[in-house]
Amino acid sequence: MWELVDARIAAGWSPLAVGSAAGLPERTIRSALDRRAHGAPGTWTHASEKALLASAPWPTDGMLGAHGPRRRLRALARVGYSLDALHQRSGLPMMTLSVIRSGRVATVRADTHRVVRELYDALSMTPGASETTRTTAWRAGWASPLAWDDDTIDDPAAEPNTGAPARHLDLDEWMFLVRSGEPAAAAARRCGVTVSAVDRAARRLGRPDVVAAVAGAVSAERRAG
């Protein structure tokens, strides 16, 4: 039952819309959501379950996998962005962001996927203001933006690069390694990040020399391979 409700919330439905589709009062949906949010069992009465199951079928057109948005929201939490801050920046409802970040849904609407991606691209290399969110994300084991490669973050089989000790990315160190003959990807791994993360950081920090070095090194490795 929660899978149906969470999918609709993640797609941008309000509790009022979820209730209306099932012929239930808004307070019935909100009460269940509030109970679960505060750690109490989010149970439904038999009548509510029957009404929700009988409501309009959930559309599948225009839906995309939620793994990419979930990883992005968790990564943003890792660098200090609270749900409220993300809501203020993106306009997406906090409940939608929460449901996606929690991992309770497998798909999201294509437009929601796009908004989260744009949000991540804009904020991933800039620290957020919530130390509480940062600490919670760290304790949950969520990967930071530097652990993900932009080219594979939407791939369900992709894994974050967390093998190296987490530390501040030193672009000059990466440049030194590459100039010393280290392959771009190997140099990035020694710095504890991915080549994509090096490129993002260089663009964010205004380092055209590093951006050019990334492009040149990657191009050379592709030709050699």
User: Within this chain, do residues 131 and 195 fall inside the same structural domain, yes or no?
Assistant: no
Last residue of a domain, one of 129, 145, 161: 145
- Mean pLDDT, rounded, for 156-161: 83
Range(s) of the domain holding residue 216:
171-224
Residues in contact with 40: Cβ distance below 8 Å, sequence separation at least 6, in sequence order: none
Query: What local confidence, expressed as pLDDT, does residue 104 receive?
Result: 83
Provide the number of structural domains found in the chain: 3
What confidence category does residue 180 fall into, taking pLDDT thresholds of 50, 70 and 90? confident
- Residues pairing with 63 in the sheet: 109
Indicate whether 189 and 115 sit together in one domain: no
Selection from 74-78, 158-162, 171-175 with the highest mean pLDDT: 74-78
- The pLDDT confidence band at residue 165, using thresholds 50, 70 and 90, is very low
> Is 109 among the domain residues?
yes
Q: Tokens 């919530």 correspond to what residue?
A: 130
Alpha-carbon torsion (152, 155, 159, 162), positive or negative: positive
Q: Which pTM does this prediction carry? A: 0.58
Longest dimension (CA), the chain: 69
